[in-house]
Chains A and B, each alone.
Chain A
Amino acid sequence: MILEAENIHKSFPPLQVLKGISLQIKAGETLAIMGKSGEGKSTLLHILGTLDTPDQGDLRICGKKIPQRELASVRNQHLGFIFQAYHLLEDFTVLDNVLMPLKIGRKCSSKDQKRAKALIKECGLHGKENLLAKFLSGGEKQRVSIARALCNQPDLLLADEPTGNLDQSHSQKIQELLLGKAKELDKALIVVTHDEEFARQCDRVLFLKGGQLYTKL
């Protein structure tokens, strides 16, 4: 298993957001998590991505329980994030953005650079490697975000409403790109989305309601 979460609890007093959530995902599997706004989807994704800590419960990534001091390197080596608001480094070029996880992991070889350029090309941004991220459109930014998430060859991609800020046509293309790449590279993908069509294309869909996950509503 790439990720195993067991009995995850999280509360923002007085609100209890997550009430004993357990889920598992294996390599190459795509999982969509749906739910109404404010149900705690993003919180769950952040906990699964080790950006936040649960009040209770266990999290295993690649079969290992991660100690606090190793969280950063686990995020760098095993996880790739795609956010609704893209979260690019606006003053850096497309290539710099894509290479950043590698640079953070101190392993930016010329081979890695070549791979990053190939990824940029595959994500439909050929010729824009040296453009500053701030000059890109929303769709392009999300493509960079996907390339950045994939660049470090992570085991699990975590996407938080990746098409939330895009129009229908761009949204469709990003969905295709993300799911296509996850399948092609055999990466596990957990995507939080409101888009039923997007969710339908995933291997599994879970619904978050009242702090618990359901397979059906």
Chain B
Amino acid sequence: MFELSFIKKYLTPKKKQLSVSLIALLSVAVITLVVWLVVVFISVTEGIEKTWLHKLTALNAPLRLQPTKEYFSSYYYNVDRYSASSHYLSQTIGQKAKALISDPYNPKKDEELPPLLAKPDRDAMGDLKDPVKGVLAILDDLKKTYPGLAYQDVEMSGALLRLELVRQEANSLQPVEMHSQLTHVSYLASLSEKNPSLSDLILKPSIEDLNHLLFLASRDKENPRGTLSHSQIQKLKTKSDLWPLPVDFLPEKISFFAEAYEHEGGISHIMVFDRPITKSQTIEKRGKKLFYKKDGEPEYPLDIKTPLFAYGNIEFSVQEQGEEGSFFISASLQNQGVSGWTSLEGLEVAKASFDTVFASLPSVLPPWAFTLKDKESFVPRDETKTGILLAKNFRDNGVRMGDSGYLAYSAPTSLGSQERHLLVYVAGFYDPGIMAVGNKCILVPNTITQTINSFESPFTLERSEANVLHVWFSHLQEAPKIKTALLERLRETGLEKYWKVETFREYDFAKDLMQQFDSDKYLFTLIGVIILLVACTNIISLLVLLVSDKKKEIGILRAMGAKRRSIATIFALSGGSLGFFSCLLGVFLAFLTLRNIDSVVSFLSFLQGHEAFNVQFFGQSLPHEMSPRALVFAAIATPLFALLAGLFPAIKAARLNPCESLRS
């Protein structure tokens, strides 16, 4: 291909063709910049959309089945209220699924059914159609086609959450306990243990949570076995400036600079500083004695029990974790190593890791929510209180794991309504993502929602919203296919009228967001196309100039028998090559930018003087994965537009009269 050698010559910057070279460099710079911008922008927006979609579908499930009006007016649903075996209570989807028989009504024992009650919907065999077991059978069957499919019924309810917040003021040797209360009107959602994404949403315990759990255990004189056996404490630090230093920590025959405090003619206590602040007094341990020495005075022995205090913020490495909350720790005091066994008195955890995933249910449960290997989540409960999960904004507002209180709801009695309490404690926090009820939702075991829902209360929700069936699967894009398959099977079994099947794109609270994401995607792509087209118009100017510059060479080539097509190819491919090269450069720069997106955000925040991106919306850090769509867009659109931009000058060059070109 002789054309390639010409493309290479024409595109290599030269002094001789300065204007062409400058415009070529400018074109490359502009297209590179545009490609970089488009790829980074599309990647980040797609990443954000992905994050939001994950948040949206993690708690709400990508597919849900809501019971319809037909379901609630059906004989199947209402008959429980007239049946002794159902305790004369409406049954939830979960309870219906577990029921041994579809029709619990016993005409011999139960009261007569009201005449207005709907007639039973029976199949060809005369059996009562079971909308719940029927749909669950279909879902089980669909698992064969979609192995990652999981489902669970979710109940919603409402209650008043009241937590007692006990905090310790740790700025003195005598910590002060402070009490406050938090009251919050809350929605309750039953925990979907089978939700494979739930474990991703549950936040790991923080160091503050661990310290609070340890504080509560010591305050209530409880053994924090669950807490300590499932956390690996690596570092401890002193809670305040003063820490009662056990004398065992001092190594033998090593002097420490210290300061002695006298009281009633004797030394009451000795302060050992973390750094050698005063050098006029020393203390040294020798055998069963402490020896104190002051400059200019003879050394004299002290009782080994003389209280010692370490002064300063000291951090200890944990060497060994013993039984009953004891730790073998070491630290550097005045550049000398001190170590020994101690309890947590006066100390708090500075660094630790936590066990949150277990192969099987541990014998001693941690106080926090955890996940079993098969992705099933588990929220523990203690003897009296049930563990609940609060939205993460509670943690941001100072609530800690272990805080306890109750959920209040009202129950009708013969004397009116009575407030009842369910004792709960905070077993963790979760990221609520996009929920219709947002941060007000508490995740609780379904025993709580069932208890509250069994009474008519001011919190009672719309029935179709209060109890729905959530379906999860491995890939979000499978949602429409699964919905179609599900509807088809429901139609076949005559259960279609009992269920409203919706994918996440159809949820009322998500519809607008989804539409916005879709419009954003099209809008951003359109903007990308437009700016890329504009950037590529530079190539037209460049090639028009190049054709005019190389007119004579075109004539020479034509005289030697070069076809018009070859001449057009040289100039069109010159444009295309510029586009391709700029695209490569732009994608590479975009890759670098995305890899260092946090630094870029910090720089932007520095320039703006405030956070460049809202954490609530964009998350802790911007997405940094390159979008394949952006990559394909850049890789196809840029060289194509550049090639198209080169076509006009290329055709012009091909149509040049060789005679005129030679004369030029």
Q: Which residues of A contact B (CB under 8 A)?
A: 46, 49, 51-52, 72-77, 79, 81, 83, 87-89, 91-92, 96, 100-101, 103-105, 148
Contacts and interface: CB of A to CB of B under 8 A. Distances in A.
Contacts of B9: 91-92
Interface centre among B557, B561, B564 (most CB of A within 10 A): B561
Given A81-B559, A88-B556, A101-B560, 7 more contacts: A72-B563, A75-B561, A79-B561, A87-B552, A87-B556, A87-B662, A104-B557
B261 interface: no
Contacts of B552: 87
Interface string B2-13: 100100010000
10 contacts: A51-B558, A51-B658, A52-B658, A72-B563, A73-B561, A75-B558, A75-B560, A100-B560, A101-B561, A103-B2
A148 B557 CA distance: 12
A10 B200 CA distance: 85
B559 A49 contact: yes
Contact of B659 (A52, A100, A103): A52
A92 B657 CA distance: 23
Contacts of A103: 2
A72 B564 CA distance: 8
Interface centre among A49, A52, A79, A89 (most CB of B within 10 A): A89
B600 to A, nearest CB: 42
A68 B650 CA distance: 20
B562 A72 contact: yes
Contacts of B5: 92, 96
B553 interface: yes
Contacts of A74: 561
Nearest to B662: A87
Contacts of A148: 560
A105 B556 CA distance: 14
A91 B14 CA distance: 11
A33 B179 CA distance: 116
B556 A89 contact: yes
Contact of B561 (A52, A77, A88, A96): A77
Contacts of A92: 5, 9
B566 interface: yes
B555 interface: yes
Contact of A83 (B557, B558, B563, B662): B662
Contacts of A75: 558-561
Interface in B542-570: 552-553, 555-564, 566
Interface residues on B, range: 20 to 34
Contacts, number: 56
A204 to B, nearest CB: 24
Given A51-B658, A51-B662, A87 B562 contact: no
Contacts of A87: 552, 555-556, 559, 662
Nearest to B566: A104
Smallest CB-CB A-B distances: 10 pairs:
A76-B561, A103-B2, A75-B561, A72-B563, A101-B560, A51-B658, A52-B659, A87-B556, A104-B562, A81-B559
Nearest to B556: A87
Nearest to A90: B553
Contacts of A104: 2, 557, 560-562, 566
B556 A46 contact: no
Interface string B638-663: 00000000000000000001110010
A186 to B, nearest CB: 21
Contact of B560 (A52, A76, A96): A76
A76 B566 CA distance: 13
A34 B5 CA distance: 39
Nearest to A80: B560
Given A89-B553, A91-B9, A72 B558 contact: yes
Contacts of A46: 659
Contacts of B562: 72, 76, 104
Contacts of B659: 46, 51-52
Contacts of A96: 5
Contacts of B662: 51, 83, 87
Nearest to B555: A87
A100 B559 CA distance: 11
Contacts of A83: 662
Contacts of B553: 89
Nearest to A100: B560
Contacts of B658: 51-52
Contacts of A105: 561
A23 B658 CA distance: 23
A77 B562 CA distance: 11
Nearest to A70: B563
A55 to B, nearest CB: 14
B6 to A, nearest CB: 9
A103 B552 CA distance: 19
Contacts of A91: 9
A91 B563 CA distance: 21
A100 B570 CA distance: 15
Nearest to A85: B662
Contacts of A77: 561
Nearest to A47: B659
Contacts of B555: 87
B560 A81 contact: yes
Interface centre among B2, B558, B560 (most CB of A within 10 A): B560
A127 to B, nearest CB: 23
A162 B555 CA distance: 18
A107 to B, nearest CB: 11
A51 B660 CA distance: 10
B561 A72 contact: yes
Contacts of B2: 100, 103-104
B1 to A, nearest CB: 8
Interface string B556-593: 11111111101000000000000000000000000000
Nearest to B10: A91
A74 B558 CA distance: 11
B398 to A, nearest CB: 74
B556 A51 contact: no
